[in-house]
Amino acid sequence: MGLPLRILHLEDDPRDAELVGEALAEAGLDTEIRLIGTREEYVAALERGDFDVIISDNRLPSFDGQTALTLARERHADVPFIVVSGTIGEELAVQFVKGGATDYVLKGNLIRLPVSLRSAVQQAEERGQRKEAEESLRASEERYRSLFEGVPIGLFRSTPEGQILDANSALLHMLGYADREAFLATNALDLYVNPEDRERWRSAVERDGVMRAFEGQMRCLDGTTIWLRYNAKVVRDRDGRILHYEGAVEDITELKRAEEGRRASEEQYRRIVETATEGIWLVDDQGKTIFANQWMAEMLGSTVEGLFGASLFDFLDDEERETIIANIEWRRIGSPVQREVRFRRRDGTRFWTLLSASQVNDEKGLYVGVLVMIADITKRKLAEEALRQAEERYRALMEHASDGILILNVQGRILEANRQMEALLGLPRTEIIGRHPWDFQPPDDEGDQSQRFKEFLTRGSIHLTRPMRRGDGTVVSVEISGALVEVGGEQIVIAIHRDITERLRVEETVRQTEKLAAMGTLVAGVAHELNNPLSVVIGQAFLLRQAAEGGPLGVRAEKITQAAERSARIVRNFLALARQYPPERQQVKLNQIVQEAVELLAYPLRVDDVEVKLDLVPDLPVLWADPHQLQQILVNLITNAHHAMRETPPPRRLTLTTRFESAEGRVSLEVADTGPGIPPPVRARIFEPFFTTKPAGQGTGLGLSLCLGIIQEHRGTLQLAETPPGGGTTFRIELPVDPRTAAPEALEAEALPPVRGKSILVVDDEAEIAETLRDMLATDGHQVETAVNGVIALNKLRERNYDLILSDLKMPELDGPGLYREIERNYPRLRRRVIFITGDALSPETREFLAKTEVRSVGKPFALDEVRRVILQALQSA
């Protein structure tokens, strides 16, 4: 059941109102009538609008039907308006219809009112429906236009021939059109830049009228071009005829530019990858190849195709493979990883690479693989290995060099020091590096070494000899050779230090030896000249003493003999010091050595008021030693004591003491003086080579070190005794006694009986010596003839026989050795009866000749007893 029909009934007569109600009721209409009598009530009702139909009388008290119709149409144009009046005429009815009234009914004919009312309501409903449909359509069109205009993409409608029917603002904006009508006047096909795009449009129309993701380049109003992408469809009528095209347009210019840039980048990347000088390898988390460039394939001795399906790990040694897998998480590489890795080629050869690995993700951040870049660093590794070996060789050369080596910077600071330098300075390397060479300069060394170093840098090289102070304070002599070189763009100094202390000592020894040899040569020459007259003096004194025996001349002859013999001993002592014989061990009487040494130095000692005291045990065993060396030691010790006592006031005393320690089997000799003594700091160094407390030029510091060496060669000791309370110095020598020579010195050889009546030939170019020797031998009853050289002696040998021949060694025309060779060849029976008398200080040639021939000899000056003994020995052995 529907709702009642709401009616506004404008009527001022209640009876008429009732009649209208009855008429409607009789017609079966369900109505709800509200009676309106005044204009104000009517206007209020119109404002409320709660009614469906208006029935109005023509004449009302405050207004008429025309006014009521006008007010209704102004507010509710579609509401049915029926005029019910008793006086309405045709003319008035037409005016009402023209004014918008639905119908008019005479009060006398109310039977027609329900029909009119029903017709009016039906028409009103139809008008409402149409209006609603129109409103709905209008709303749809508005929504469509709003959507059409509001979307950010371009929308259009066009004919199949490309004529634009409609376009939204977005499309106008894309193509640069501000005037819609101007754009609608264009043909879309004319805007395409490329003719092929127009053909594609037509092809799409001819096929099925559908375009999906159609892309084309179009020209804007200002002449610029943009890229558009179409998604369009064909709209057809019910008969299938094409009405128009409609679709969406998207500006893809930036996308196309990005694609073009990406494509260019990809092409450039591809060119870079293919022409790269490094291997590029994209692998998955299992090391399987996703992509590899040609260089990678060539490095591995393969082809690009040959790498697909292969694993990166297949080209690694087992050890390298384990290291790579263990150190790189192939699924999660945060930051790029670099490793030096050795790869193995297909042919088995190996090469070193620098492997860089980084994770590759796609645009969505999803894992793609691991990008591996490999650079061949084999040459660099070989160079590094060569450098390492060179450094090892350099270090080995440094460490095993026989000389000390320092590496310094140009500021003179020590950067490196080798092992030999540590030994030379007696310091560990840590105490050498960082210091300057002049830090090891002795305090008394003169000169600014840092300034000298600067001068050296300007020259670039240096060679000098400097003293250096060791860690223990001792000083060594060092020969330094330095050079300024450039290494790795940096200038450094290489300084080679050679310890020449021993060499200098040897050179000094050689110099002293040469001096002594020269002195020996000089003294030997002097001795030869002295020995001849001394032989005459001693021989003539002997003859004079024998002739004047018991008379005053005998006493004078004895004094002459003693003086001559003393002179002869002095000459022999000089020769012993100067000749520098090689060690010649023989039976030695120590007391005699002591006496001869004192006698040699007696004059200078006496001049400086030095008292010499000899405390010699008379029964010392005979030593097996070199008498010349022992005498040299004694002369050195006595001379040192003499020099020391010059610094002290008299009395000055020198005491020489000999003892025999039978329990130890050793003979001792002490040399004590009353000098100032030796300070404790000096005592520890007195036996060091080249150490001396004497001023420069007055000593070499070799004396005591040579003495110590000689004593040690004799299996003895040389020590500095404790300093006595009163001062002074005592040196103590101990020498072992050889059991073979343990006879006391006091035992002299028994006197030999003289041989008489022999025929003897004396050969000497000194007539006085020959005559003196002839006269001396004549006292024993010998028949003596003389010759001044070997030639005359040979003539005499041809004339007669001799029992014995005494000959000088050095003579004109034919010397002693030449004479001996002639006798050995022509008179072999006399070979063992030749005795040489020499005064040439036993030169090396003479000693060699006598040792080779085993010929006996007597040195000048000689005594008759010595000559008798040798003659007897020669006659007994012949």
Looking at the fold, whether 338 and 440 belong to one and the same domain comes out as: no
Strand runs (DSSP E) across 118-182, as ranges? 154-158, 164-167
- Among 208-217, 636-645, 771-780, 829-838, the least confident range: 208-217
- Given this model, what pLDDT does residue 745 score? 44
Q: Which of 275, 317, 284, 281 is nearest to 302 (CA)?
A: 281
Looking at the fold, whether 789 and 715 belong to one and the same domain comes out as: no
- Given this model, what pLDDT does residue 275 score? 57
3 state DSSP class of 339: strand
Residue with more model confidence, 847 or 670: 670
Exposed (0-12), middle (13-18) or buried (19+): which is 565, by Cβ within 10 Å? middle
Other Cβ atoms less than 10 A from the Cβ of 714: the count is 21
Would 522 be classed as within a structural domain? no
For 493-538, how does the pLDDT look when each residue is reduced to its tens digit (9 = 90+)? 888 888 888 888 777 766 766 665 666 667 666 766 777 787 778 7
Integer Cα distance of 574 and 765 in angstroms: 25
Looking at the fold, whether 725 and 621 belong to one and the same domain comes out as: yes
* Cis? peptide before 650, omega within 30° of 0: no
For 462-483, how does the pLDDT look when each residue is reduced to its tens digit (9 = 90+)? 788 888 888 888 888 888 888 8
Integer Cα distance of 229 and 245 in angstroms: 15
The DSSP annotation for 489-539 comes to TEEEEEEEEEE-HHHHHHHHHHHHHHHHHHHHHHHHHHHHHHHHHHHHHHH
- Given this model, what pLDDT does residue 679 score? 76
Pairing of the two strands 81-85 and 103-106: parallel
Q: Which domain holds residue 608?
A: 581-741
Q: Note whether 542 and 554 are within 8 A (CB).
A: no
* Total tally of structural domains belonging to the chain: 6
Q: Note whether 657 and 634 are within 8 A (CB).
A: no
Residues paired with residue 807 on neighbouring β-strands, in sequence order: 763, 836
Structure tokens, 139: 């709303």
Looking at the fold, whether 596 and 708 belong to one and the same domain comes out as: yes
Looking at the fold, whether 102 and 221 belong to one and the same domain comes out as: no
Q: Alpha helix locations (H) across 194-343?
A: 195-207, 253-275, 294-299, 304-307, 318-327
Q: Which of 546, 836, 505, 816 is nearest to 690 (CA)?
A: 505
The DSSP annotation for 437-482 comes to GGGGS-TT--S-HHHHHHHHHHHSEEEEEEEEE-TTS-EEEEEEEE
Looking at the fold, whether 127 and 167 belong to one and the same domain comes out as: no
For 734-746, how does the pLDDT look when each residue is reduced to its tens digit (9 = 90+)? 999 876 554 444 3
613, pLDDT greater than 90: yes
163: Cβ contacts below 8 Å, ≥ 6 apart = 187, 188
Q: Of 195, 224, 257, which marks where a domain is finished? A: 257
Q: Note whether 677 and 723 are within 8 A (CB).
A: yes
**Side chain identity at 538, as an amino acid letter?**
I
Residue with more model confidence, 803 or 130: 803
95, pLDDT greater than 50: yes
Instruction: Compute φ and ψ for 343, nearest 5 degrees.
Output: -100, 160
- Given this model, what pLDDT does residue 724 score? 67
Integer Cα distance of 863 and 748 in angstroms: 16
511: Cβ contacts below 8 Å, ≥ 6 apart = none
Sheet with 350-361, edge to edge strand ranges: 289-292, 279-283, 367-376, 350-361, 337-344
Structure tokens, 428: 């560990």
Q: Of 741, 774, 800, which marks where a domain is finished? A: 741
Residue 318 Cα distances to 314, 323, 341, 343, 355, angstroms: 9, 9, 12, 11, 17
pLDDT bucket at 461, cuts 50 / 70 / 90? confident
Would 401 be classed as within a structural domain? no
Would 454 be classed as within a structural domain? yes
The DSSP annotation for 566-621 comes to HHHHHHHHHHHHHS-PPP--EEE-HHHHHHHHHHHTHHHHHHTTEEEEEEE-TTPB
Residue with more model confidence, 345 or 327: 345
- Cα dihedral 828, 829, 831, 835 in deg (nearest 10): -150
Q: What does the pLDDT average to over 846-864?
A: 81
- Residue recorded with tokens 């008035």: 92
581, pLDDT greater than 60: no
Would 556 be classed as within a structural domain? no
What average pLDDT does the structure give for the chain? Answer: 80
Q: Note whether 174 and 226 are within 8 A (CB).
A: yes
- Given this model, what pLDDT does residue 795 score? 92
Would 395 be classed as within a structural domain? no
- Given this model, what pLDDT does residue 569 score? 66
Q: Which of 786, 780, 825, 827 is nearest to 808 (CA)?
A: 786
Would 101 be classed as within a structural domain? yes
Structure tokens, 453: 């170093």
- Given this model, what pLDDT does residue 611 score? 92
For 252-282, how does the pLDDT look when each residue is reduced to its tens digit (9 = 90+)? 888 888 777 667 655 655 665 565 667 787 7
Would 378 be classed as within a structural domain? yes
- Given this model, what pLDDT does residue 42 score? 86
Q: What does the pLDDT average to over 98-124?
A: 81
Structure tokens, 601: 């130095």
- Given this model, what pLDDT does residue 759 score? 92
Q: Of 257, 289, 320, which marks where a domain is finished? A: 257
**Side chain identity at 356, as an amino acid letter?**
S
DSSP 189: G
Q: Note whether 280 and 295 are within 8 A (CB).
A: yes
Looking at the fold, whether 661 and 735 belong to one and the same domain comes out as: yes
Integer Cα distance of 635 and 836 in angstroms: 31
Q: Which of 400, 419, 404, 432 is nearest to 498 (CA)?
A: 404
CATH number of domain containing 680: 3.30.565.10
- Given this model, what pLDDT does residue 331 score? 58
Residues paired with residue 461 on neighbouring β-strands, in sequence order: 483
Q: What does the pLDDT average to over 837-847?
A: 70
- Given this model, what pLDDT does residue 79 score? 85
Q: Note whether 310 and 289 are within 8 A (CB).
A: yes
Residue with more model confidence, 84 or 329: 84
- Given this model, what pLDDT does residue 276 score? 61
Would 313 be classed as within a structural domain? yes
3 state DSSP class of 265: helix
Structure tokens, 243: 């009405």
Integer Cα distance of 857 and 806 in angstroms: 9
- Given this model, what pLDDT does residue 851 score? 79
Structure tokens, 328: 């790189």
CATH number of domain containing 435: 3.30.450.20
Strand runs (DSSP E) across 348-413, as ranges? 350-361, 367-376, 404-409
Integer Cα distance of 68 and 37 in angstroms: 12
Integer Cα distance of 763 and 759 in angstroms: 13
Core vs surface per residue 784-805: b (16+ CB within 10 A) or e? bbbbbbbbbbbeebeeeebbbb
Looking at the fold, whether 664 and 589 belong to one and the same domain comes out as: yes
- Three-state SS across 751-798? CCCCCCCCEEEEECCCHHHHHHHHHHHHCCCCEEEEECCHHHHHHHHH
Q: What contacts 24+ positions apart, CB below 8 Å, involve 88-96?
A: 88/58, 92/58, 95/66, 96/65, 96/66, 96/69
pLDDT bucket at 697, cuts 50 / 70 / 90? very low
Q: What does the pLDDT average to over 398-416?
A: 85
Looking at the fold, whether 168 and 251 belong to one and the same domain comes out as: yes
- Among 356-360, 561-565, 702-706, 835-839, the least confident range: 702-706
For 717-772, how does the pLDDT look when each residue is reduced to its tens digit (9 = 90+)? 988 887 666 678 889 999 998 765 544 443 344 455 667 888 999 999 888 888 88
The DSSP annotation for 47-109 comes to HH---SEEEE-SB-SS-BHHHHHHHHHHH-TTS-EEEEESS--HHHHHHHHHHT-SEEEEGGG
Q: What does the pLDDT average to over 195-217?
A: 74
CA-based radius of gyration for the chain? 74
3 state DSSP class of 21: helix
Highest mean pLDDT among 225-234, 287-296, 367-376, 817-826 belongs to 817-826
Looking at the fold, whether 715 and 791 belong to one and the same domain comes out as: no
Q: 3-state DSSP helix/strand/coil percent for the chain, to nearest 5?
A: 45, 25, 30
611: Cβ contacts below 8 Å, ≥ 6 apart = 651, 652, 653, 654
Q: What contacts 24+ positions apart, CB below 8 Å, involve 686-689?
A: 686/720, 687/718, 689/501, 689/502, 689/505
Looking at the fold, whether 611 and 722 belong to one and the same domain comes out as: yes
Integer Cα distance of 301 and 307 in angstroms: 10
Q: Note whether 300 and 344 are within 8 A (CB).
A: no
Looking at the fold, whether 770 and 662 belong to one and the same domain comes out as: no
